[in-house]
Structure formats: structure tokens, C-alpha cells
């Protein structure tokens, strides 16, 4: 059976529910943000904050926010860009994936370029695949940074280990952007962590007690690893008390070297979980 889809409301916001091979995903039109992913075993794999704010123009804490055209505060635009705060349009099912589009509009005026973003979401029994394509529809070149800011639900953050980054260089965003090389076999999440690993190629594995999740990315060269830790979490207004223990962000990103597109060119990056 092919991918099934239906419009639905989830936490009061307009969404599309996808079903395939016993798995379900919910994608909000707000930000084209995947909010929920239940593989066929029925266990939620994404974190969505209890206090997540779906008001127009706001960023929703959890799921898979689409970061475009600027990662974090690395440029003149609003933090993490506008794509996560705007409504996207559902553009149908194509090659077994639901497609959502965002194009130049009054809400994107802070970045004066003609562009088209296309986010596709596909699911299988044990797999979630999200791909972001960006097209330059302008007459002039432009450059951007982007990420799929995936919030992975975990049982107990003190037991979580992220494997596959040994030997990779990273910028430590908590330490003024200092460069380091990861020497340990796994990243642990004790205290806050905010790192941009560069040129990550091989798949990662998130071990959470007895559970393991494979994380693969293509097109995106960097991987951002983030959890605010207790102290910073207490200052994040849309994160309920103790919720920082329930997620780690493992983000597929193109941050350290922006993507430059000439007129008519396209770029694509993707993240596959499962
Ligand atoms: O609070 P937000 O704007 O959603 O950002 C949440 C986090 O996103 C990324 O992971 C950055 O590396 C962090 O520095 C930032 O704190």
C-alpha cells in the first residue's frame, strides 16, 4: 500500500497525518514541521514540548523544525531564519513522500531573494526520511545556511550516548566557538552541550538504554548536537520543568560553509532516522 495522508488537527494546529507500513507521522503546515513519528512499533520517537507554541510566527519547540535561510544567530536575520515560523503549503504526494513548499512571500522579505523550498517527508515501518530542497529562482546568486533541527525523544538523558563522532572536529558553541576534536567513542549529555560537528559523513547511532536509532544524513555536511542542560533549560520559556531530560537534538545542518546557489541552481539535504 502506498503512503496514505489525511488532514488533521494536532495540538490545535493544521497538520497532515501520514500512514504507511503501520507507521504514522504528523506534519504541521506551520513550518512544515514534523511533530510526531511513530514507527510500526507504536512508540513515539520525536520530542514535542508540552508548552510548544503554535501561534502564527512563532517557533515550535520540538519535532523537526526546518531551519532556513540562517542557522542560529549566524547572520542578520531572525534566529534560525523564518522557515520554521511560517505556514508552508502541502503540495501533494510525490514518489511516496508528502511534499510541502515555501516560496518568496511578504513574510520572507527580510531575505530579499526569490527562492523555493521543498520539504519531503516519507515513512516506512522503521524509517523516517526528511529532505529539504532549495532552488534559486532569482536572477542573482544567493547563499544560505540550513538545518533539520531534529528533537529526538529519549527516556533518560543521563543514559544516552551518541556514537559515530569520534575523530570529528567540532565548534563548541558554548565555549565561544572554540575548535575541538572529539576523542571519545560516544558523546554523553551531562550538562549542556551545543556543538557543530563539521564534515560528518558516516551514520550515527543514538543509544538510549536498550534502544538504538540510526541517524544518517546526505547533502548536509555538519551535524549539530544540542541539549540545553538544566541551567539553560530553566531560562527557556517554552520548555516545561525537567523536559530537557527528555530529548537530544541531533541536527543535520549546513552551517559552517553556507550553500551558494546561482540562478536556477538547486541544493538538497536530507536526514534519515530508523
Ligand atoms: O531556542 P532555539 O532558537 O530553537 O534554538 C535552540 C538551539 O538550536 C541549535 O541547536 C543551536 O545550536 C543552539 O545554540 C540553540 O540554543
Residue whose CA lies nearest to ligand 1 atom number 14: 194
**Ranges of H-type helices in the chain:** 229-233
In angstroms, the CA 162 to CA 44 distance is 19
In angstroms, the CA 84 to CA 64 distance is 9
Question: Residue 175 has what pLDDT?
Answer: 83
Nearest to 274 by CA among 67, 9, 20: 20
Buried b (16+ CB within 10 A) or exposed e, 76-87: ebeebbbbbbbb
In angstroms, the CA 9 to CA 172 distance is 38
Q: Which residue bears the cell 520517537?
A: 45
Residue whose CA lies nearest to ligand 1 atom number 7: 226
Q: How far is the CA of 263 from the centre of ligand 1 (A)?
A: 30
Q: How far is the CA of 224 from the centre of ligand 1 (A)?
A: 9
Measured at the alpha carbon of residue 62, what is the angle toward residues 9 and 15, in degrees to the nearest 5? 20
Question: Residue 231 has what pLDDT?
Answer: 96
Domain count, the chain: 1
Question: Residue 263 has what pLDDT?
Answer: 98
Question: Residue 235 has what pLDDT?
Answer: 97
Q: Map residue 189 onto helix, strand or coil.
A: coil
Q: How far is the CA of 67 from the centre of ligand 1 (A)?
A: 10
**Per-residue pLDDT tens for 102-115?**
999 999 999 999 99
Question: Residue 87 has what pLDDT?
Answer: 98
Low-confidence ranges of the chain (pLDDT < 70): none
Whole-structure pTM over 0.95, yes or no?
A: yes
Its domain, for residue 59, covers 4-273
Question: Residue 158 has what pLDDT?
Answer: 94
In angstroms, the CA 157 to CA 152 distance is 11
Counting from 1 in the atom list of ligand 1, the atom nearest the Cα of 236 is 1
- Radius of gyration of the chain from its Cα atoms, rounded to whole angstroms: 18
Question: Residue 229 has what pLDDT?
Answer: 97
| Residues pairing with 23 in the sheet | 20
User: Which cell is 144 given?
Assistant: 544560505
- For residue 189, the domain's CATH number is 2.70.98.10
Which residue ranges have their beta carbon within 6 Å of ligand 1?
A: 59, 72, 79-80, 173, 194, 224, 226, 249, 251
Q: How far is the CA of 91 from the centre of ligand 1 (A)?
A: 29
**Per-residue pLDDT tens for 48-101?**
999 999 999 999 999 999 999 999 999 999 999 999 999 999 999 999 999 999
Question: Residue 199 has what pLDDT?
Answer: 87
**Could you list the active site residues?**
149, 251
Amino acid at each position: 500500500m502506498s503512503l496514505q495522508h489525511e488532514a488533521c488537527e494536532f495540538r490545535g494546529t493544521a497538520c497532515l497525518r501520514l500512514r504507511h507500513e503501520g507507521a504514522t507521522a504528523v506534519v504541521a503546515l506551520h513550518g512544515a514541521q514534523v511533530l510526531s513519528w511513530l514507527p510500526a512499533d507504536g512508540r513515539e520517537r520525536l520530542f514535542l514540548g508540552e508548552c510548544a507554541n503554535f501561534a502564527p510566527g512563532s517557533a515550535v519547540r520540538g519535532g523537526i523544525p526546518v531551519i532556513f535561510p540562517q542557522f542560529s544567530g549566524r547572520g542578520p536575520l531572525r534566529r534560525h531564519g523564518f522557515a520554521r515560523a511560517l505556514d508552508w503549503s502541502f503540495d501533494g504526494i510525490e514518489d511516496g513522500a508528502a511534499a510541502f513548499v515555501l516560496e518568496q512571500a511578504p513574510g520572507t522579505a527580510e531575505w530579499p531573494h526569490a527562492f523555493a523550498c521543498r520539504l519531503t517527508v516519507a515513512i516506512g515501518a522503521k524509517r523516517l526520511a526528511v529532505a529539504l530542497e532549495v532552488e534559486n529562482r532569482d536572477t542573482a546568486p544567493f547563499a544560505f545556511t540550513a538545518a533539520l533541527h531534529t528533537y529526538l525523544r529519549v527516556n533518560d538523558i543521563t543514559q544516552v550516548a551518541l556514537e559515530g563522532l569520534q575523530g570529528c572536529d567540532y565548534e563548541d558553541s558554548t565555549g565561544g566557538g572554540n575548535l575541538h576534536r572529539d576523542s571519545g567513542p560516544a558523546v554523553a549529555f551531562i550538562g549542556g552541550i551545543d556543538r557543530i560537528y563539521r564534515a560528518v559523513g558516516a551514520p550515527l547511532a543514538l543509544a538510549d538504554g536498550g534502544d538504538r536509532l540510526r541517524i544518517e544524513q546526505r547533502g548536509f555536511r555538519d551535524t549539530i548536537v544540542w541539549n540545553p542542560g538544566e541551567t539553560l533549560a530553566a531560562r527557556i520559556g517554552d520548555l516545561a520543568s525537567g523536559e530537557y531530560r527528555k530529548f537530544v537534538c541531533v541536527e543535520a545542518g549546513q552551517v559552517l560553509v553556507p550553500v551558494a546557489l546561482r540562478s536556477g541552481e538547486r541544493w538538497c539535504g536530507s536526514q534519515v532516522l530508523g
